[in-house]
Amino acid sequence: MPTRRGFLAAGAAASQQLGAQMHDHDHEHQAVPSDLTLRVKALESLLVEKGLVDPAALDALIDTYEHKVGPRNGARVVARAWVDPAYKQHLLNDGTSAIAEFGFEGGKGEHMCVLENTPQVHNLVVCTLCSCYPWAVLGLPPVWYKSAPYRSRSVIDPRGVLREFGLELAEDVEVRVWDSTAELRYMVLPERPPGTEKMSEDQLAALVTRDAMVGVAKVKPPA
């Protein structure tokens, strides 16, 4: 598996190579890393070179968010809420404290608000300003969550956005869109799918996806 550092280095090299070629066609080169990626690489190199940042510490931090903190945390919270009505009530009343019972806490003490999807109400989470996301339960935000089209269109045309994610909601379902901020992060408690009555908490957690906890998908029944 390529390391993040390797990826960035390869990206920078690829970009230089590309710049050296003449391009007289207008399709997009998706493989080229974004300007942002290259800037991050440049900044990281500078900080390391000047001895301001320890590359090992940086890698440990990234590893935490890529592997230890992630949507599996949120999935455990959801599964618990599905099997334990008292926990679910606590989660909906005070997301921050219910989630902290698992030892999952936000980096900067942000508050968590959990929104319950029901047959009548579908919740969708966005950050229109930037990319605020419940790191403690979902890890790093996916690229689409940070994209300008998702951020603007989720508010203007949530049903259209959901359709693009493959989720068609009935007309009588109310769609609620929640705008995250640095202080308040939202997570969706998806509906428990049918046919899961006999499943254990761990089995249930395995069904829960990141997208369902952002509200762009439903949890699918077991195959």
**For residue 43, with 0-12 CB atoms within 10 Å meaning exposed, 13-18 middle and 19 or more buried, which class applies?**
exposed
Rounded Cα distance, 195 and 199, in Å: 9
- Mapped onto helix, strand or coil, the DSSP state of residue 179 is strand
Q: Are 188 and 180 in contact (CB under 8 A)?
A: no
Check if 132 is active-site.
Answer: yes
Cβ 217 to Fe ion shortest distance, Å: 21
**CA dihedral angle for residue 14, residue 19, residue 20, residue 21, rounded to 10 degrees:** 90
Those residues whose C-beta lies under 8 Å from the C-beta of residue 86, and which sit 6 or more positions away, are none
How far apart are CB 60 and Fe ion at their closest, in Å?
25
- Residue number, 60 or 129, with CB nearest to Fe ion: 129
Tell me how far CA of residue 16 lies from CA of 19, 22, 41, 177, in angstroms: 5, 12, 14, 41
Annotated active-site residue in 34, 97, 130, 152: 130
Catalytic residue among 15, 127, 154, 180: 127
| Residues at the interface with Fe ion (CB under 5 A) | 127, 129-132
The dihedral formed by the CA atoms of 158, 162, 165 and 171, expressed in degrees to the nearest 10 = -160
Closest to Fe ion by CB, 127 vs 216, is 127
Q: Which is nearer to Fe ion, 8 or 188 (CB)?
A: 188
What CA–CA distances, in Å, run from 141 to 59, 87, 137? 18, 26, 11
Instruction: Work out the number of other CB atoms within 10 angstroms of the CB of residue 109.
Output: 8
Q: Smallest gap, in angstroms, from Cβ of residue 58 to Fe ion? A: 22
The catalytically annotated residue of 15, 132, 154, 180 is: 132
**Of residues 132 and 214, the one with the C-beta less far from Fe ion:** 132
Residue 178 CA, distance from chain mean position = 14
Q: Is 113 a catalytic residue?
A: no
Nearest approach, Cβ of residue 164 and Fe ion (Å): 21
Would you call 127 a catalytic residue per the annotation? Answer: yes
- Of 15 and 180, the one with the shorter C-beta distance to Fe ion is 180
- Catalytic annotation on 45? no
Supply the minimum distance, in Å, between the C-beta of residue 145 and Fe ion. 10
Task: Enumerate the active-site residues.
Answer: 127, 130-132
